[in-house]
Structure 1
Amino acid sequence: MPQHAPRVTQELLDEPHIEGRRISVLQLHDRVKELGADPEDVADEYALDVADVYRALAYYYENPEEMQAARARRESDLRDLRDNIASNRPDGINPPS
């Protein structure tokens, strides 16, 4: 008897992800569409069914405004983190160029 495959949910991290896992729809989309990884390889890497990868891709394309907002939040959070690190760095300590 086939097991119920995980679905996309938002129970964690305020961003769509695979139910019961921390891997987000954006991460799966970016691995497959931005980096050109094979969906089967991505599924193996994250111990997912390949159907989960395709569900995430379908969710990404079915919810473009939500995904754009999630990406914008992620980029804003990253900028805030970088700014916070830079403003709290002790004098004379600079990261390598």
Structure 2
Amino acid sequence: MVDIIRTADVRGEVPRIEGTRVAVLDVYELVVDGGHDPADVADQLDLSLAAVYTALAYYYEHPDEMETVRAGREADEEALESKSLSPPGELIE
């Protein structure tokens, strides 16, 4: 059986697949937002297909929590972009 867990010392306590660093939101973004086949995502991330479907089920069963996780990720990305010394998309040499 595949479990979804949260631990303070791994990935900032976001829900993830037990025994991995793969977050539920990572799986959702690849399958739903990215349009990738669940079997391909399982193969790419070295997961069982059951783990992919468990992560997707968790996402849909906990919409408020997942929205909070998504908002936190977007805030982190914005903070990193604002600290960047170069314009977005420009490589630093």
Specify the TM-score bucket, using the shorter chain as the normaliser: 0.7 to 0.9
Q: Which residue of 1 aligns with 2:44?
A: 45
Q: For 1:77 and 1:59, how far apart are their aligned partners in 2? A: 23
Residues paired across the two proteins, number: 86
Give the TM-score, by structure 2 length: 0.85
Q: What is the one-letter code of the residue matched to 2:61?
A: E
Aligned-partner residue type, residue 4 of structure 2: V
**TM-score if structure 1 supplies the norm length?**
0.81
SS of the residue corresponding to residue 21 of structure 1 reads coil
Structure 1 segments unaligned to the other structure (5+ residues): none
Q: Distance in 1 between matches of 2:29 and 2:81?
A: 22
- TM-superposition CA deviations, 1:33-89 (whole Å, max 9, x none): 11111111111111111000000000000000000000000000111111122xxx3
In structure 2, the partner of 1:31 is 30
Residue equivalent to 2:61: 62
Structure 1 runs of 4+ aligned residues shifted over 4 Å read: none
Q: Determine which structure has more spread, i.e. the larger CA radius of gyration.
A: 1
| Cα distance between partner residues in 1 of 2:57 and 2:69 | 16
8 Å contact 2:28–2:56 — kept in the other structure? yes
Aligned AA (2:66): M
Matched-pair contact (CA < 8 Å) for 2:2–2:50: no
Q: CA RMSD in A?
A: 1.5
The aligned runs of 1:1-97 (5 Å cut-off) are: 5-11=1-7, 12-13=10-11, 14-85=13-84, 89=85, 94-95=86-87, 96=90
How much identity, in percent, do the aligned residues show? 42
